[in-house]
Amino acid sequence: MPGWQVEDVAGKELIAYVEKAAEQGTVATIMFHSVGGGYINISKQAHNELLEYLHTNQDKFWVDTFQNITQHIKSERKRLGWE
């Protein structure tokens, strides 16, 4: 599954990443540990920009935990006979 470990990136970069994933019909996994300071950090502003964008476009994006998304993918692969 594609993933991006981010640190100190701008909101527009995060948005571009999820847009590219949507265009390609794939999952966008963004990994970080903290918002606004700490280890593998993104700024509060960048985080808020991404969340606002995803909320505004919630008809286009499914936001959930990594576990729930991978379980869904596994279930769909089984349902389609791909496993």
How confident is the model over 31-81, as pLDDT tens digits?
888 898 888 889 999 999 999 999 999 999 999 998 999 999 999 999 999
Confirm if 52 and 13 have CB atoms less than 8 A apart.
no
Instruction: Compute how many other C-beta atoms are within 10 angstroms of the C-beta atom of residue 47.
Output: 18
H or E segment to which residue 25 belongs: none
**Domain tally for the chain?**
1
Domain span holding position 43:
3-79
Spatial neighbors of 15 by CB under 8 A, at least 6 apart, are 49, 50, 53
| 3: confidence class by pLDDT, cuts 50, 70, 90 | confident
Give the model's pLDDT for residue 46.
95
Give the model's pLDDT for residue 61.
95
Taking 80 as the threshold, does the pLDDT of residue 2 lie above it? no
